Structure 1
């Protein structure tokens, strides 16, 4: 049976994650549990669960007797985050292409449209929302929950790095790469989905390498 607080804890997690990824909570900044509760507008128990989960994912640190510190962003960590994604994301996309059903395909079409709108209007928050939705669709479509659980924290870190080091000008190219993956999955073309996802990951990796030269 689901605990009564589970949905609130997930809502707290999503809200706090979005604030960290969007840099509304600045890297390296310190705050208290009380401040987080006030910002999110949910109770202490769901907020504590969200804090614990984000601490495990490496997005914040719980400092004993001091409070909570938002994790720093270091360019070299971008490459470390992308290293496992380069290997696993093509598998993720290929399996999604093999197993996606009509509902997944419909949601991917909506997600692609949102991403293209975000690129056209330079709407970074909409782009980030569509990107997270894209990852969530693949997680349910790929028929391997372990893959999704491994990749989800890495995807979140990648979005945060992208916000920090990219610009509105990158939206068009990034959206085009994402949309191509969605099209290949929708066509059930497993090999093409693997190739287009590999191209997307390599584009991110190229950006990350440029930061540490």
Structure 2
């Protein structure tokens, strides 16, 4: 049965005993969501204090979250001028996807081998919700489940180095898709590809997981190249 509300989702996460987030992690997650949904518009410049007010968290954890975002190239800290949100282009996104393809497969295949029984049950449950969001054309629900699923799959893979490298690539990809998805109306296909990957990881079938991971990358790359052909 699909996860139907944030409350249900959070209760499910708590039941799996996901470690408690620090204020820095919460600040990073909240800023990242606003980055993806363009509330932090590409090229815009912000004061640190304004970002702290935006997410309702103190300046010290926000500053640490921004340092991480800067190291991931999501933002640029301008000397005495504020924080600039990174811009994007089709060419940049193709480079992101080239790197993401290899890391996504690595993390997904490790998760297929390493996930515990309750973690596999979660992946089956959330796959239904991702797919349902795609069928409804609900991009915000899709992004919510996509955010959380990728975060948990990274934990299930138990390779923090690969997971840390992959995370900002997902963030860039989510923002790029949010910017352009209305032009192609393909959320159902995108949702189905991610749902299939979650189910493959849950099954423990490493070969199937690799195939589904590459399909996710193929769909994302085709979407990006279509934009290039049609003109951004």
User: What TM-score, normalized to structure 1?
Assistant: 0.92
SS in 1 for 2:77: strand
1:80 and 2:117 are equivalent in the alignment: no
Structure 2 counterpart of 1:206, from 214, 219, 222: 222
- Note the aligned Cα RMSD (angstroms): 1.5
Q: Distance in 2 between matches of 1:172 and 1:194?
A: 21
C-alpha separation between the residues in 2 aligned to 1:120 and 1:206?
20
Q: How does 1:1-213 map to 2 (within 5 A)?
A: 7-167=22-182, 169-213=185-229
Unaligned runs of 5+ in 1: 1-5
Contact 1:107 1:137 in 2 (8 A): no
What is the Cα deviation at residue 161 of structure 1?
0.9
Greater alpha carbon shift after TM alignment, 52-61 vs 203-212:
203-212
| Stretches of structure 2 lacking an aligned partner (at least 5 in a row) | 1-20
Matched position secondary structure for 2:63 = helix
TM-fit CA distance, 1:88: 2.3
Secondary structure of residue in 1 paired with 2:83: strand
In 1, Cα distance between the equivalents of 2:66 and 2:203? 39
Regions of 4+ moved over 6 Å: none
Cα offset for 1:79?
0.4
